[in-house]
Amino acid sequence: MSEQKNVVETSEAEIAVHWQEEEYITPPPAFVGQANLTDPAIYDRFSLDNFPDYYTEFAQLLTWYKYWDEVLDTSDAPCWKWFKGGKLNASFNCIDRHLAQHKNKTAIHFVPEPEEERVQHVTYQELYVRVNEFAALLRDTAGLKRGDRVTIHMPMSAELPITMLACARLGVIHSVVFGGFSANACADRIIDSNSRVLITMDAYYRGGNLLNHKAVEDEACTIAEEGGQKVDMLLVWQRYPGKYSSDSPPVPGRDVVVNEELKNYFGVRVEPEKMLAEEPLFLMYTSGTTGKPKGCQHGTGGYLSYVTAMSKYIQDIHLEDVYWCMADIGWITGHSFIVYGPLALAASTVIYEGVPTYPDAGRSWRIAQQLDVNIFHTAPTAIRALRKIGPDEPAKYNYTFKHMTTVGEPIEPEVWRWYREVVGRGEAVIVDTYWQTETGGFLCSTVPGINPMKAGSAGPGVPGIHPIIFDENGKVIEPGAGKAGNICIQNPWPGCFQTVWGDRDRFVKSYFSMYNKNPDSKDWRDWPYMTGDAAVQSADGYVRILGRIDDVINVSGHRLGTKEIESAALTVPEVAEAAVVPVAHEIKGKEPELYVSLKPGIQPSPELQQKIADAIVFEIGKIAKCKNVWLVPDMPKTRSGKIMRRVLGAISNKGDVGNVMTLANPEVVEEIQKMVAE
């Protein structure tokens, strides 16, 4: 085991010991009275004795062209096939099947960032028309067909889910890249997924500025081509239909302005492809322990069944609700809980273009008031920011939340209490949903109509998910033992990703190898899924997540691989070594801080510091911006030459560096400490 792992585990375990158990808070009776799920017998039905058949309850929430022959096929363990032989289409399930009863209902409320622009309300009928027309364009203008991959690099807009659903209608596998990611990050994903078509938007608003997004795509196409993947066609949606809003003109022969081209497809309808349940629906890239982001491949039938059930039972969405998830669709939360889950339930889902605190701290609450939002879903980072800049703002607006979610990072109990008392006015139930890009939907959460809440704890496994905590030797840590360990899931579940795109070995190695004893086994019991998170479980089964055990830093709920940042730093020719560590941050949770040693003969300078900082933003995006770039004379190293990130982490966080005398170069520690203290 590496020093890095050891250290993180120890420090996280120490935190656990200091944490006190929080009290139970019962869900408000008004909430329970209307909840979709209130019968605790679900936990009996979804016990391991009934696995895997209990998951047919979730699949039955969907409309199938053909039912499955087998609930779970384990023959290619651990690449599970859910609902084998079943046929369905995700776009049909999110749109067509609702038309008979809900064609007039708003599917998407799009809220532009400029407040003077009116909200756009897209009904299910309108969504149907727009998705069909765009699917026809993808098929006939772009020549896309079932199984092809397409990269989508778009801002928050109604056109983004329209694009995704049009792909799903054709069986084209979409790979949405977070709009704020750089050209380089986008190009990496284009190359890895072999996308020959890229879909984007000319411009979008963020923080009061209309950003020229198209310029990023031109660069992404150039970088992708250098990397061996030519983008034959760039499809550009217009932020203002009929008006081109970017200074970067369309490139003849490659670029197609969607809003013009669509005129050729008005009124065209496209039959949804009858997809096998196990055919991929989308790829979502996420950071791993090594430099290259991995493409998590999510299937159609399993994923859609799972997110629909989670939206119904944990998000408690009803037809008459107005549901607002503030995440970006470019992350898994947006895929599962803005687009696929809510739309499969014929919900009304809100998409907000811009910054939640623009132009002031009241913006989010004004949106809630205007649309009469009653289910609100966000991350601790946003909650901390809203609390910091406008602790009294929620009280000024007239809205009522029945249900609120926190997701993506551990939430401090004080922040949880502010969320409940001030944002939720003490009337909303809260779910703290713990899950991952890979897991498609929730792993742990209270069922809001059944379980009491506990500040700072995600709750037990959701019905059907059976968590287990192992120590590093594979010994089970019993609930209530007060010790942290690696949280794993004992059983497969339909929302889980199917593999890492193009890299099955990496899938097996990263998620299963640590606790699998027989690699040839076809029995699911031999393949616990390893989340990579450290957690403690109290005697009542509630899980408290402590953070990642691997080399991943969670910034504002977004994951960044330390290796990704380090390799970005190493693109600067003067850099010899780079090590990144997470530093506690009041709002973002964690922030990366970078230590760099230079090649011999190179002098440190503020210009060089800036060059390295810029390289990281260029390679990955602003999200990876480092708090500081320290140019150090040498890295603290073990005698075998391993960089001691633990020591750097302690320096950055002003903690105790411990005994450093065993290092190869103990003197450097003090030098770095002095530098950082100044």
Stretch that binds ligand PRX, among 81-89, 426-434, 496-504, 506-514 (CB under 6 A): 426-434
- Shortest Å distance, C-beta 352 to ligand PRX: 18
Q: Which amino acid is at 454?
A: K
- Shortest Å distance, C-beta 519 to ligand PRX: 24
Which 8-state DSSP code applies to residue 382? H
Cβ–Cβ under 8 Å, residues 335 and 281? no
Stretch that binds ligand PRX, among 195-203, 353-361, 405-413, 643-651 (CB under 6 A): 405-413
Cβ–Cβ under 8 Å, residues 446 and 431? yes
Pick from 293, 408, 449, 582 the residue near ligand PRX by CB under 6 A.
408
Half-sphere exposure (Cβ direction) of 101: Cα atoms closer than 13 Å: 6
Which 8-state DSSP code applies to residue 19? P
- Shortest Å distance, C-beta 120 to ligand PRX: 27
- Shortest Å distance, C-beta 46 to ligand PRX: 20
Cβ–Cβ under 8 Å, residues 314 and 58? no
Stretch that binds ligand PRX, among 6-14, 404-412, 417-425, 592-600 (CB under 6 A): 404-412
CA max distance for the chain: 75
Pick from 157, 348, 364, 554 the residue near ligand PRX by CB under 6 A.
554
Stretch that binds ligand PRX, among 100-108, 406-414, 492-500, 665-673 (CB under 6 A): 406-414
Q: Does 448 bind ligand PRX (CB under 6 A)?
A: no
CB closer to ligand PRX, 99 vs 587: 587
Helices (H), 262-395: 301-313, 332-334, 341-344, 363-371, 380-389
Stretch that binds ligand PRX, among 29-37, 272-280, 556-564, 574-582 (CB under 6 A): 556-564
CB closer to ligand PRX, 223 vs 309: 309
Cβ–Cβ under 8 Å, residues 245 and 239? yes
Question: In 3-state terms, what secondary structure has residue 405?
Answer: strand
Q: Does 562 bind ligand PRX (CB under 6 A)?
A: no
Show contacts with ligand PRX in window 20-49 (CB under 6 A).
Answer: none
| For helices 645-652 and 3-18, angle between their N-to-C axes, nearest 10 degrees | 40
- Shortest Å distance, C-beta 325 to ligand PRX: 11
Q: Which two tokens stand for residue 46?
A: 């979804």
SS (H, E, C) 509-568: HHHCCCCCCCCCCCCHHHCCEEEEEEEEECCCCCEEEEEECCCEEEECCEEEEHHHHHHH
What percent of the chain is helix, strand and coil (3-state, nearest 5)?
Answer: 35, 25, 40
Angle at CA of residue 614, ends 613 and 615, nearest 5°: 90
CB closer to ligand PRX, 131 vs 304: 304
CB closer to ligand PRX, 273 vs 533: 533
Stretch that binds ligand PRX, among 14-22, 97-105, 553-561, 569-577 (CB under 6 A): 553-561
- Shortest Å distance, C-beta 497 to ligand PRX: 10
Q: Does 410 bind ligand PRX (CB under 6 A)?
A: yes
Helices (H), 141-234: 159-170, 183-193, 213-226
CB closer to ligand PRX, 132 vs 405: 405
Q: Does 337 bind ligand PRX (CB under 6 A)?
A: no
Is the preceding peptide bond at 636 cis, omega within 30 degrees of 0? no
Pick from 160, 326, 361, 407 the residue near ligand PRX by CB under 6 A.
407
Q: Which amino acid is at 176?
A: V
Size of the site for ligand PRX (CB under 6 A): 23
Bridge partners of residue 469, in order along the sequence = 487
Task: For the chain, count helices (H), then strands (E).
Answer: 22, 32
- Mask of contacts with ligand PRX, 304-333, x by CB under 6 A? ----------------------------xx
Question: In 3-state terms, what secondary structure has residue 462?
Answer: coil
- Tell me the C-alpha distance between 621 and 331, whole Å: 14
- Shortest Å distance, C-beta 327 to ligand PRX: 8
Show contacts with ligand PRX in window 269-288 (CB under 6 A).
Answer: 286
How many residues are given for the chain?
678
Ranges assigned E (strand) in 291-409: 294-299, 322-325, 348-352, 375-378, 403-407
CB closer to ligand PRX, 431 vs 657: 431
CB closer to ligand PRX, 150 vs 545: 545
CB closer to ligand PRX, 485 vs 557: 557
Cβ–Cβ under 8 Å, residues 582 and 591? yes
Cβ–Cβ under 8 Å, residues 225 and 196? no
- Tell me the C-alpha distance between 264 and 277, whole Å: 32
Sign of CA dihedral 106, 200, 258, 166: negative
Q: Does 432 bind ligand PRX (CB under 6 A)?
A: yes
Pick from 83, 134, 434, 529 the residue near ligand PRX by CB under 6 A.
434
Residue in the structure block whose two tokens are 């959460």 = 445
Q: Which two tokens stand for residue 128?
A: 């149907």
Stretch that binds ligand PRX, among 52-60, 417-425, 427-435, 513-521 (CB under 6 A): 427-435
Stretch that binds ligand PRX, among 80-88, 302-310, 430-438, 660-668 (CB under 6 A): 430-438
Torsion on CA atoms 242, 244, 250, 254, rounded to nearest 10:
-40
Q: Which two tokens stand for residue 578?
A: 């780079």
Q: Which one, of 438, 425, 173, 387, lies nearest residue 285 by Cα?
A: 438
Stretch that binds ligand PRX, among 164-172, 358-366, 432-440, 659-667 (CB under 6 A): 432-440
- Shortest Å distance, C-beta 602 to ligand PRX: 36
Pick from 436, 451, 516, 652 the residue near ligand PRX by CB under 6 A.
436
Q: Does 437 bind ligand PRX (CB under 6 A)?
A: yes
Q: Does 560 bind ligand PRX (CB under 6 A)?
A: no
CB closer to ligand PRX, 132 vs 381: 381
CB closer to ligand PRX, 126 vs 432: 432
- Tell me the C-alpha distance between 118 and 206, whole Å: 17
Pick from 273, 279, 409, 593 the residue near ligand PRX by CB under 6 A.
409
- Shortest Å distance, C-beta 504 to ligand PRX: 20
Stretch that binds ligand PRX, among 28-36, 486-494, 501-509, 554-562 (CB under 6 A): 554-562
- Mask of contacts with ligand PRX, 523-552, x by CB under 6 A? --------xxx-----------x--x----
Binding site for ligand PRX (CB under 6 A): 286, 332-333, 407-410, 432-437, 458, 531-533, 545, 548, 554, 557-559
